A and B are shown apart, each in its own frame.
Chain A
């Protein structure tokens, strides 16, 4: 069964450093998402991406964050100048048709656990 692949599975970084979280969505999917989950808390929406541009972002997704689809397969989340409160599990997801087509489930990756020290 097709999978969404995320790397690395765990990243430790110094406060103030930049990190790039990588995702390979399912090949025929067109909509891509990043969510995060702070330990013990709910899964929070960060950003959605379609047709090489951001289609929606949350208030969490400020200038510290950016996303990119540098080639036909990868989808990255960059966090500049990381803060302690950025420590969380970050999930990438993809969907074949997004929400406009009447709804399809999202396929999530296994996540990257980011620890900022």
Chain B
């Protein structure tokens, strides 16, 4: 079973619309992080939410965390063409040291 699975696997929306991506995980975590990856490029850290937090904002990004459901969502408001990328959640598993585990990602495509 996967620790950190995003859905949908792919999402296409019109520019200006909001994009919502979800992440589910299986074991308890210290924190959950979201990263963006442009095609063939490196991973960019977007936002980290700790297990005792429920919601966090950063610019046009809004992340929620529901530890009872073991799920998180990333909302990008007023999407732009430059938001086209793959988005990954990564979990820092409780009682496991020194690594974060990535999901398979959601490929987001913003249509002009």
Contact = CB atoms under 8 A, between A and B. Distances in A.
Interface of A: 31, 33, 35, 41-45, 48, 50, 55-56, 58, 89, 91, 93, 98-100, 102-111, 113
Interface string B23-51: 00000001101010000111111011010
A103 B43 contact: no
Contacts of B102: 35, 42-45
A99 B45 contact: no
Given A42-B103, A45-B99, 9 more contacts: A35-B102, A42-B88, A42-B104, A48-B99, A56-B96, A99-B99, A106-B43, A106-B100, A108-B42
Contact of A48 (B98, B104, B105): B98
7 contacts: A35-B102, A42-B104, A56-B97, A103-B33, A103-B92, A106-B100, A108-B42
Interface residues of B, number: 26
Contacts of B33: 103, 105-106
B101 interface: yes
B88 A43 contact: yes
B42 A56 contact: no
Contact of B41 (A42, A56, A111): A111
B92 A31 contact: no
Contacts of A113: 40
Contacts of B43: 43, 91, 93, 106, 108
B98 A108 contact: no
B101 A45 contact: yes
A108 B40 CA distance: 14
A99 B44 contact: no
B98 A106 contact: no
Contact of A105 (B41, B48, B88): B48
Contacts of A100: 97-98
